[in-house]
Structure 1
Amino acid sequence: MNSRFPNLPRRFNLPHRNNPIEYNGHTYMIGDFIGSGCFGEVYECRDEWGNELVAKIISPKLGQYKQFLDRTIRETDNLFNLRHPNITYLYDAFELNNKLYLILERCDLTLEELIKHGQSSGDRALPYIAKDILQAVHFMHNNGYVHADLHPGNIFCSILRDQIQPNSQNYIFKFKIGDLGITKREADLNLNYLNTIFADWMRAPECIDQSFGSVDRRVDIYHIGLLLLSLTRGDIPRFTYQEIVDAVPRRMAEGLSSPYRDVIARALRRHVDARTQTAFAVWKEIEEVLERIQRPQG
């Protein structure tokens, strides 16, 4: 049993709104409900300093206790081990009064929400959003981890505001990777594991047909390609197994009018060895295109 969750009970009760939670010298105030997923619910939260956070409260479905426990411990350990400015920050993790809490930094919205509401700014914002994401992926890979679940719903945006001049319209957007619940050491990655967690449309070609190459960190590169494709198109395309095997995502990228189309297409190559090999290499390709766009003409 993980030391952060001793004597973890098998029954959970969700908290009452605005009830203070006292734990290890901190006070957390649970606020409004934000959303839910397979393993629990997320609430607004503030600490004793008034910092805006979120409380992820895990509540397993009947018969899923071990799966829930393994995932929660893995996500907690991953977040504590992988500290980076572009990875959502875990402040605290504890079990108290038959409830299990992960206290995380609060972000304003997801990349999925930005895309769906037409606010992602497409090519204009792509280099800056991509740089934040790619730095985090590069950091994870250098530390031997594969995220394995990169999609617009797991990319979070923090909007930094001027607290001294609150009426200022100058905002800074910072993008971060979140939801490290299925993140694994690359050495522990295997096809059976990935094929039980991926949404069908997210499967990399090598997860469908191993003739395309080995399953490793380059799964994340393929997912980055899908992310950038969504960002450029302004929607989130879904693909069938056959379309993935037939290279429809790559051909869709090649058909874009975006100056970044070739960068995206290379990240979406079916054959792993022909794909862009690292997150840093993807960034250098984007940077080269950006410099060409910004270069004075004539």
Structure 2
Amino acid sequence: PKYTGILGRIIDINDSELAIVRPEYRISENDDAEIRQTISKLTQVFDVVRLVDISDNEIIRSGCKPGNEEIINACRGDKCYAIWGKTQRCKNCVSSKAFEKRGQVSKLEFADDSIFQIISKYVEISGKPYVLEMIYKDNDGVLLGAYGKTDFMDNIVNYNRQLYHDALTGAYNRRYYEEQAKSMRYIDAVAMLDANNFKGINDHYGHAAGDCLLKAVCESIKECIRSSDILIRLGGDEFVLLMANIPEIVFYQKITEIKQRISEIKLPDYPDIKCAAAIGGVYGIQPIENALTEADRLMYLDKNA
């Protein structure tokens, strides 16, 4: 493969000259030399350039513009997300998106007091898929436009909150699931949850009572899970829980704990309402859509038990 232009390419997936897949998935010496040369050229434009194996978030090769060595050193020998001060993969991982689309995706990332633009491009080297990350640090306010840094960051945070969070419960919403969550490749466990007799409660006590119940259910779930877990309200009284880096036995213990916690809910304004939920959980099924289908089936079995 040849490289073209300062932004270059390693192997574009639309080319007819894709390398033959080799079982050992090792980078040949020739390809490795080209990678290093391309990263060197790209660092004339970008502050940091990295080749990432998205299957395990390992940084295969990296380089930086002079003066940015501290960024590289901060995550040397660590996973790709360490550069952002995180201990696990980003919930809106742009490189996962590029990998899924087999194309190019970009986003803004905030770390400490700095703003970065990341361009992630799907590439294939020696027959193995990778993502090439090109990172630009906004030192001169180019990305801010007419906004000051604080206003700009506040606007972005508020926009994301309104875009991806459910206004009633504070959980992620269905749009987040469709645009972000269902393409995640690192989720170990998926649970589907449905509040029992929710329609009957709404019909008998009114929608204010139903809203109160939904907020209480959401809070009960959050009390049982980690901050890194992803709770989504798909709609109505249906919630989805996505969990990564969790042992199977612990996941199923969490499902039992959540069910028990919901059964203990007391609504001061509606003391006659009894809370209960049906839950279906699956472990180790990919992609997430398949896991959700099976979790949904198990949830209805639990509801009808």
TM-score (norm 2): 0.30
Larger C-alpha radius of gyration, 1 or 2? 2
TM-score (norm 1): 0.31
